[in-house]
Structure formats: C-alpha cells, structure tokens
C-alpha cells in the first residue's frame, strides 16, 4: 500500500490505497499506511466513509510527519463490505457536510458499529468486558433511518442559500436535501428559500403538541409571509409532549433551547431512566444537568408528594424553561448553577437515595463523580451521549465503589456515529 506520490510521505489531497480495519470512536475506521522501507506497524489513518474489511482509495485530508495520526476520506471502493449500501445522503459524503457519516452503512450494521464502539470504550477506559445492545427507536426501521429529526439548523452562504458546514471546517456548503429532518420540517421548504447571507436558520417541529416554529438569528420568522415576525408576543417556544405507558407530560421549551432531536428520544430515555430507578416513592433523587426538565417531571411524579427531586442545571435559558415546567411540583427544588459548584456548596442537600446524571458530551468528570458518591446514593442512573465520556465516568464511579449493573445503547441518531446510552450503577 502506498501513495501515488511514490515514497514521499502523503500530503493532503494525495490518494492512498488502504485496507480498512476496525471501527473507532468518532465515525471512522482505522487503517495503517506503510511508506517505503517501513517495516513497523505503519502510520494510523482514520478513514471516514469506509467499512471494516474494505479495500479503498482514500484522499488524505489531514497529514504531517509530526501528527500522531492522519485523516482521510474513502473516495473509491475497490472491495466493498456486504454492509455497504448506496448513501442515503450523498451531500454528507467525502468532502461534504458533517452529520451523516454513516449514511453508506446498512441500518442494522450502523447499530452493530455503535455497539462495537461502546464495547471498545468500556474495555479501554473502564477495563470492563461488556457487550452493549444498541436498540432502534420506534419507526426508524420503517423509515430507513430517515425523517427522525425534529430540530434542524442551517447557515446561509454568501449567496443566501441554506447550507451546513463542511466536515471539520467553517466553510458553508449549500444543501439541496436533508433527509434526516421530519416530514413537518421538510414541508417548510427551507432549503429552496433565499436568506440573508450569514443568517442562522433554526426550525423546530415537535413530535407532538405544537406546530412548527422557525427562528432566524434567534428571532421568530413567519414562513408564510417570508419575513421576520416583529410582534413582541411572537411565539419563540414550543410545547413538547412525552408519553411513557399511561403517563404523559407536557413541557414548554425555547425554540433555540436544548431538547432531544429524535422524535422518539424523550420517551425512550424517560422510560429507560424510570425503569433503572425502580420504585422511588418517597425517595430523594438528584437530577443533575436537568435541562428544561425532561426527567425532572417524571421523577417528581415517581417520588410523589412525600419525596424530593433536586434538579441542577447551569444553562440560564434551560432553567427558565424548567421553572415553568415544574411550577406545580412542590417536591422539586431547582438550582441554577454549575453542577460541581452546586454540589460543593451543599445546596443539593446532604444525601440522596438515587442520582440521575445527564451530562454534556464531555461527561461529568472526576470532581462531580466524587461529589455524587459523597451523597451515598444506592444507585446512579447515567445518561450518556458520548461513549468515551461514559467509560471514563464509569471508571471514576468504580473508584468510589459503584459497579456497572446495566448498560443499554439507543440509536437516537441514525446515519451518524452518535449513540446514546443509559447505564445503571449500584453500590
């Protein structure tokens, strides 16, 4: 295997012929390039748009003699994997926009890919051998993994065309299709409009409860009239409804605020958290990184009027939404502030029966884990959006005496490498 330049080290733009190895965290596979006279293990190349076992020609996108690894995009498949399919979103292919790096992979193989990453991260960072199932959400198989996004965002390029950023770049590429967005969003026809160059366009179409909402640079936009809605009372938030079994909860969420983007994700995660929590009547439960209150409301109902839910969130907009959402739940104490700081201050109380953690992509970290362990909960329910962060925090919790009892993956982001997981840790 070599470069078309011959013996010289590859440079960005060069094309290498590579044998593709295993999947790795981040949406790529691992290959190795051997230069002339290289008898060692070879230089690691992270290759996107490939599959394990394939032989491809890959265009180098990042390289350098001092780099620990190189990056490349597979641009020609010489020997294809049986898991390869025609891309569901070519605009997210080599050289294209980010957000659809597994669109060339059969849907069940995408879940196997994500399960392999979860297993590898737990093994490498937490020293646990654990097979992790990755479950599909209702409706995804029938839709071919498309049409699941209830929230999308676009940037207008210099000509006012709606686009997205090129992968690992600030460049905006116009897009004609975005097959991951829901039918309700597609019907808004946002991609065919011309926008003010540089405008940021965000659209929300709740899975249940409200009509779509469009914001341009955070201002409500009247799609029918094709212009901003200047009224001071113009709608800037949406109602979201979440149903688990016979229970249903209604939330108010700012249009530009955080909410799970898959139409079935709020219900799937809420059901998983409540299931892992078990009987919580009368308990004291901490809901850390509580956002707009997705879990806070169900937890309040689970502990009942004799229990307590202590919710902690650092984002001011999410806290404003949460205050509205929990206003009629007197058993909820809501704290605004950095989670580590609130825990260190003692404001969250001196003990807890259970803790629910839903940290951002970087994870909770050692300080928060230690503070959680100091509260001596009998169980910790961890909702993770990053396998590496989950594995690191599981290792930290193990140092504090908590063992991983259960972990399940959820395919909340078909066609991408992202995967959510819910883990239960017990003392």
Report the DSSP beta bridge partners of residue 32: 44
List Cβ neighbours of 158 (8 Å cut-off, separation of 6 or more): 197, 198
Q: Are strands 379-384 and 420-426 parallel, antiparallel or unpaired?
A: antiparallel
Q: Which two tokens stand for residue 337?
A: 């502030």
Q: How many Å apart are CA 188 and CA 186, to the nearest integer? A: 5
Greatest Cα-to-Cα distance within the chain, rounded to the nearest angstrom: 74
CB-based burial label for 66 (10 Å; 0-12, 13-18, 19+): exposed
List Cβ neighbours of 120 (8 Å cut-off, separation of 6 or more): 22, 24, 25
Report the DSSP beta bridge partners of residue 105: 84
Q: How many Å apart are CA 42 and CA 286, to the nearest integer? A: 48
Q: How many Å apart are CA 110 and CA 26, to the nearest integer? A: 13
Radius of gyration of the CA atoms of the chain, in A: 23
Q: Cβ distance 74 to 56 under 8 Å?
A: yes
Task: Give the single-character DSSP code of 190.
Answer: G
Task: Give the single-character DSSP code of 166.
Answer: B
Report the DSSP beta bridge partners of residue 29: 23, 47
Q: Cβ distance 367 to 412 under 8 Å?
A: no
> For this structure, is 385 an active site residue?
yes
Q: Are strands 213-216 and 200-204 parallel, antiparallel or unpaired?
A: antiparallel
3-state secondary structure 59-71: EEEECCCCCCCEE
Q: Cβ distance 354 to 372 under 8 Å?
A: no
The phi and psi torsions of 107 (rounded to 5 degrees) equal -60, -45
Catalytic residue, chosen from 385, 397, 419, 423, is: 385
Residue 396 sits at the vertex; the CA angle it makes with 394 and 402, to the nearest 5 degrees, is 65
Active site residues per annotation: 385
């Amino acid at each position: 295997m070599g470069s078309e330049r011959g013996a010289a080290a590859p440079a960005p733009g060069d094309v290498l012929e590579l044998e593709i190895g295993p999947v790795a965290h981040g949406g790529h596979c691992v290959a190795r390039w051997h230069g002339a006279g290289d008898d060692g293990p070879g230089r690691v190349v992270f290759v996107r748009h490939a599959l394990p076992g394939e032989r491809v020609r890959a265009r180098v996108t990042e390289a350098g003699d001092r780099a620990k690894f190189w990056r490349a995009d597979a641009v020609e498949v010489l020997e294809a994997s049986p898991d390869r399919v025609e891309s569901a979103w070519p605009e997210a292919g080599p050289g294209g926009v980010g957000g659809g790096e597994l669109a060339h992979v059969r849907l069940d193989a995408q879940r196997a890919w994500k399960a392999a990453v979860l297993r590898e991260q737990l093994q490498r960072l937490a020293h646990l051998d654990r097979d992790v199932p990755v479950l599909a959400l209702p409706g995804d198989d029938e839709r071919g993994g498309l049409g699941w996004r209830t929230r999308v965002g676009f940037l207008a390029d210099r000509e006012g065309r709606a686009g997205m950023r090129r992968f690992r770049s600030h460049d905006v590429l116009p897009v004609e299709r975005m097959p991951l967005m829901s039918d309700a969003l597609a019907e808004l026809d946002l991609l065919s409009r011309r926008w003010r160059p540089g405008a940021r366009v965000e659209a929300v179409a709740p899975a249940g409860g409200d009509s779509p909402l469009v914001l341009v640079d955070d201002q409500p936009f009247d799609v029918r009239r094709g212009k901003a809605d200047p009224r001071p009372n113009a709608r800037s938030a949406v109602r979201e409804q979440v149903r688990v079994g016979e229970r249903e909860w209604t939330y108010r969420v700012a249009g530009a605020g955080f909410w799970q983007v898959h139409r079935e994700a709020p219900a799937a995660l809420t059901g998983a958290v409540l299931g892992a929590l078990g009987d919580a009547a009368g308990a004291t439960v901490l809901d850390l990184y509580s956002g707009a209150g997705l879990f806070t409301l169900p937890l309040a109902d689970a502990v009942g009027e004799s229990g307590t839910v202590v919710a902690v969130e650092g984002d001011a907009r999410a806290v404003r939404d949460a205050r509205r959402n929990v206003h009629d739940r007197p058993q909820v104490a809501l704290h605004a502030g950095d989670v580590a700081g609130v825990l260190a201050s003692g404001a969250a109380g001196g003990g807890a029966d259970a803790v629910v953690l839903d940290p951002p992509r970087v994870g909770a970290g050692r300080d928060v884990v230690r503070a959680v362990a100091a509260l001596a909960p009998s169980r910790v329910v961890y909702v993770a959006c990053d396998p590496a962060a989950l594995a690191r925090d599981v290792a930290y919790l193990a140092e504090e005496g908590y063992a991983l009892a259960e972990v399940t993956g959820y395919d909340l982001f078909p066609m991408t490498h992202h995967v959510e997981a819910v883990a239960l840790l017990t003392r």
